């Protein structure tokens, strides 16, 4: 529970604050970059919200904080913000919110599809999300990009009788998964799943309808650097292998949107994705 007495010193005075239980996952800064910033160890309120849009995004951050480190000195009406989750991002793709401490605050997504709905990685188990997912037709598949972002996937799988998908190299994190990917790829309906070793040995990405790339912790947009990049500091398997498997993404010429677990989601200019990958790989080699 957030505690005003533990508010970090960098907070600017006003309604919203961050306390010292913050794990610096970055989620609040993705939802509300106007309001939140960060030191090397934690987020803080750099500017109090003023406009309606700023208040709304600050409340999104508050609801999505995986450790409940964001609070307000004034009681906030959260009903409209709560009802906005899952948040429509593009076509039938939704951002779930309710980031989970067990995934270090990773983002998760929902895809509504006539042939079967998908959950991409797992938010924390939430009665609100259960209700919303039920209203949209339930969950048929749960794509687990890698072992770090499994979170409460087992609870969602049990509730919806969904099939969990994970690579055999990371399957120790979801030993009861219904679909274990062996080898380099798997296709189900509009989903093309690829093994992208690097961040972890069994990391995978998923390309949906050739346009939407769900990248787990493999590749993302950096708000700090204002470019696509990969996490050098948080590479648990092999940076050399991650360079190779990021390079493989250049084959996806029609990507329009990147949806990561960690890092921020971001649109891609039409037909520019191969060029983006080439520049990212060049940078990755430079910090090898």
Radius of gyration of the chain (CA): 18
Mean pLDDT of the chain: 97
pLDDT at 1 over 90: no
Instruction: For residue 142, give the H/E element and its range.
Output: strand 141-143
DSSP per-residue string spanning 187-213: EETTEEEEE--SSSTT-EEEEETTTEE
Portion of the chain with pLDDT greater than 70, in percent: 100
CA 113 – CA 116 distance, rounded (Å): 5
pLDDT of residue 83: 97
Give 268: exposed, middle or buried? Use CB within 10 Å, 0-12, 13-18, 19+. Answer: buried
pLDDT at 288 over 80: no
Residues 6+ apart with CB under 8 A from 225: none
Q: What is the pLDDT of residues 26-85, one digit of tens each?
A: 999 999 999 999 999 999 999 999 999 999 999 999 999 999 999 999 999 999 999 999
Q: What is the dihedral of CA 11, 14, 18, 19, to 10 degrees?
A: 90
Portion of the chain with pLDDT greater than 90, in percent: 98
Per-residue CA distances from 157 to 64, 139, 174 (Å): 21, 8, 11
CA 182 – CA 207 distance, rounded (Å): 17
């Amino acid at each position: 529970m957030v505690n005003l007495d533990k508010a970090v010193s960098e907070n600017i005075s006003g309604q919203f604050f961050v306390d010292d239980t913050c794990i610096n996952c970055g989620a609040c800064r993705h939802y509300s970059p106007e309001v939140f910033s960060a030191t090397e160890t934690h987020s803080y309120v750099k500017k109090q919200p003023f406009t309606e849009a700023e208040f709304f995004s600050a409340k999104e951050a508050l609801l999505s904080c995986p450790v409940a480190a964001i609070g307000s000195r004034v009681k906030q009406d959260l009903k409209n913000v709560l009802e906005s989750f899952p948040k429509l991002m593009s076509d039938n793709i939704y951002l779930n919110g309710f980031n989970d401490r067990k995934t270090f605050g990773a983002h998760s997504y929902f895809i509504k599809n006539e042939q079967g709905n998908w959950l991409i990685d797992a938010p924390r188990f939430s009665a609100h999300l259960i209700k919303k997912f039920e209203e949209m037709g339930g969950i048929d598949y749960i794509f687990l990009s890698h072992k770090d972002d499994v979170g409460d996937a087992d609870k969602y799988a049990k509730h919806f009788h969904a099939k969990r998908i994970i690579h055999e190299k990371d399957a120790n994190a979801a030993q009861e998964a219904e679909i274990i990917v062996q080898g380099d790829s798997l296709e189900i309906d509009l989903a093309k799943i690829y093994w992208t070793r690097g961040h972890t040995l069994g990391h995978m990405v998923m390309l949906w309808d050739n346009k939407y790339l769900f990248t787990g912790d493999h590749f993302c947009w950096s708000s700090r650097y204002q470019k696509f990049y990969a996490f050098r500091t948080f590479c648990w398997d092999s940076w050399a292998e991650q360079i190779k498997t990021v390079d493989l993404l250049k084959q996806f010429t029609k990507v329009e949107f990147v949806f990561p677990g960690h890092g921020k989601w971001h649109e891609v200019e039409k037909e520019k994705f191969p060029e983006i990958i080439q520049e990212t790989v060049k940078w990755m080699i430079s910090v090898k």
